[in-house]
Chain A
């Protein structure tokens, strides 16, 4: 390269000489001449943002994030911090994965398409449903998309979407936004000891209901015992049965297809992402009947000119870039790279590892609940159910005070009621369990 570096962006490679030559080819003296911006809207001021070296920028971010306390998180409720093996970071960070975009040119994107096809296949195996898309943004938006799907495929004139009264606020609120532009409305059904109250649900389901949503495990970590009956109730009303779950839970819990589920949504990034302040991966799988109404991107197998199997985005006429206002969803940029990570993590674990991870979620939660239950002033678990990963404990003292005290001792837990604490074991290293029980014993005293 000749001449001095002329530009202000560290990622634009020009020298003065080159720039002059280019300006000449374009036929202007100054880059500013290329901007066709009327004077009255020109910005003549500065943002006041200082440029920094890479090293300074890293230091800045490290020092800002350094203000986050170091805590052992016994937190779950929809976002889990399972350990993610190094293999995933190193391979997913290969720049071909990271720096490519949507596979509009499949011939030059076979690797990503295959990885997404394998991700879809993983979900098909886990759910038993025939179709899985290659990502929604997160569990909440996937739930919203399920409701709009229900609206499109409904055979009745109904307009009610039923969700459990314990549904996470973030999911409930997102769902409300997704249905705001339709004539659907969201209503709740009661829960009984954290699981769906079947009698109350039976009363709530009528021909006006287009969708019944349940979660397994529930937000309080309990395992639903009567999924097939929920499916029957929904089926009798011609409503879609939508289940919220995740790949770890699906590894051992009842297979959705076996209990009448029509659509599975949830956060698939319980595998693949560590805790990420709520960033996720929207899982979306459904029966083949709804194939042409599925939101989001689908990867299919086809053939290339040499008759070999090759992969491509398919059924794109559902999507916004072709169907515009009649598209099945407005999603464009999705969570493909997270889906890649999830598929990698599942492949790393293999079927044994996945089943084992889920089973340990049951036994470790049981063990910890037993130990907390021994503490005077603590009852755990509160719900007389089977649990996966997490459970609710009752504390005699105000839950807020207990949680604050625990935080001072280096542990984060959920407060879910005035005297209720929720505790999750997913991703918590074994060696942190004893200190947690000790701390709990002290603060509950």
Chain B
């Protein structure tokens, strides 16, 4: 640990992540702590004939206390939202309220998906009420909870668009338009759905270029996918006109809900002319990101598209009467079928429902206000240039002459998580920053201090970073050159 690093000299930013070193290596793998081989078959008490079984299984056999330590150590080598600010742009890393874990762990949430509808009225009611909440929040008429993540929601949107066009005898539509600055999943999803992707440049101000859009639209347009505010944090001011243009050629307008946190209670995709949208509940509604997932990506649509949604959906039963309504599953008339084996990431949906019910109108309205204030305040405190304004819940600064990836590595030494880097590409050396509503002024000041300290440092310092993390700079190019993806591969290597 070199104490002469810039981060070390600054008391306010003192930070060291846990690091375990033994025999010159970091925390060993489970397989390096133990390997035990169990023979299978070949004896009388095997319940299966040997030709139906494998010969043996070799895995670590460790005691419960040893495992508790292993995983506790691993957890200490991870930076999460509870460790400090996590302004990872486009990911909306907000605090995940602890009580939502408790409600998801309720024994009555642990039900099998093939149960009779009458025996899971609680689950169906929760889903029904969540569909209703989301419909109101997005200004949408019908909602499915099935997609297990944002990208899966996009896929539902694209499949619904296909089904809708085919239903109307317009199956020839084979293009989906995606802005240059969009998230990678938009392009990949459109391609997975079998579409040619038409990429749309931004105008000088960072928004959809209406002339370019005009040129891109045609009778082959199936849909335009938009994020609003876009990935620069800018509201697409011409959204009503954009919607008209898309609808005029018979296309659908898709809303990528990744940035909905900026608009909660202030504007709704349904009112802007969007026909179909996904909600990213692990962003907007604070369900934990879990090191990469699970999330959930419910999809809302206008009435006209409701018959195409995935099956099954939940509705109030016709014979529903008395004090407690009953709920049932049904297949929409022209359903695209399923995009998940069952009902999606149920436990995440329980947490989503709890979060929305906890915040209510008041809390949701405040979330967007504070998220936008925080982004603006933070931007006002940092020295890096922010070329595009007026942004909302996130801004994209430019690292200028510095390499944005190196800036990020160096920020780790100051005990903060860095922004998303090098995207969107329209800003050179992009630092896409989204502090969310959960940070206090004090934390934002510390975050700004980290940005500014790094801005003042030379390339050499940046390239040597990080120094205070569990591992030092990792050579990703080298790791990709000779991929070693399991402990077996490590052995074969030796």
Contact = CB atoms under 8 A, between A and B. Distances in A.
Contacts of B190: 325
B437 interface: yes
A124 B362 CA distance: 49
B485 A298 contact: yes
Interface in B232-271: 234-235, 237, 239-240, 263, 265-268, 271
Contacts of B294: 137, 279, 333-338
25 contacts: A31-B373, A36-B237, A43-B271, A53-B358, A65-B109, A79-B114, A97-B80, A99-B289, A101-B86, A108-B412, A108-B469, A117-B487, A122-B59, A132-B485, A170-B340, A178-B192, A181-B191, A223-B48, A254-B52, A279-B344, A297-B292, A332-B183, A332-B184, A347-B60, A352-B36
B26 A277 contact: no
A10 B338 CA distance: 37
- Residue among B114, B472, B478 facing the most chain A CB atoms (10 A cut-off): B114
A120 B30 CA distance: 12
A99 B464 CA distance: 27
B116 A351 contact: no
Contact of B293 (A301, A316, A335): A335
A338 B347 CA distance: 11
Nearest to A181: B194
Interface in A34-73: 34-38, 40-43, 46-54, 57-58, 60-62, 64-71, 73
B133 A49 contact: yes
Contacts of A336: 290-294
A79 B111 CA distance: 10
Interface string A167-201: 01111011011101110000000000000000000
- Residue among B47, B49, B115, B133 facing the most chain A CB atoms (10 A cut-off): B47
A351 B340 contact: no
Given A10-B359, A96-B80, A181-B193, 10 more contacts: A9-B370, A27-B380, A36-B234, A37-B235, A51-B361, A105-B408, A137-B152, A140-B338, A331-B151, A351-B36
Contacts of B150: 332-333
Contact of B113 (A107, A120, A277, A320): A277
Given A312-B476, A344-B71, A68 B119 contact: yes
Contacts of A165: none
Interface string B41-83: 0000011110111110111111010011011111111111111
Interface string B83-97: 100101001011111
Contacts of A27: 380
Interface stretch (B4-12, B154-162, B210-218, B450-458): B154-162
Nearest to A388: B48
A304 B185 contact: no
B71 A115 contact: yes
A326 B192 CA distance: 9
B231 interface: no
Contact of A277 (B86, B343, B484): B343
B491 to A, nearest CB: 10
Interface stretch (B17-25, B313-321, B396-404): B17-25
Given A31-B369, A61-B350, A111-B75, A137 B149 contact: yes
A313 B341 CA distance: 27
Contacts of A125: 57-59, 486, 488
A178 B67 CA distance: 39
B471 A304 contact: yes
A111 to B, nearest CB: 3
Contacts of A155: none
Given A58-B99, A58-B103, A65-B109, A36 B79 contact: no
A298 B94 CA distance: 26
Chain A interface size, under 10 / 10 to 19 / 20 to 34 / 35 or more: 35 or more
Chain B interface size, under 10 / 10 to 19 / 20 to 34 / 35 or more: 35 or more
Closest 8 CB pairs of A and B: A278-B342, A181-B194, A337-B290, A302-B479, A51-B360, A336-B292, A111-B74, A8-B366
A403 B115 CA distance: 10
B345 interface: yes
Contacts of A112: 74, 78, 291-292
A444 interface: no
B94 A43 contact: no
A10 B235 contact: no
- Residue among B53, B239, B263, B311 facing the most chain A CB atoms (10 A cut-off): B53
Contacts of B437: 7, 9, 11-12
Nearest to B97: A11
A173 B272 CA distance: 33
A223 B49 CA distance: 11
Contacts of A258: 54
Contacts of B173: none
Interface stretch (A16-24, A207-215, A374-382, A430-438): A16-24
- Residue among A118, A122, A177, A310 facing the most chain B CB atoms (10 A cut-off): A177
B179 to A, nearest CB: 12
A421 to B, nearest CB: 12
Given A12-B438, A25-B377, A64-B125, A314 B479 contact: yes
A156 interface: no
A330 interface: yes
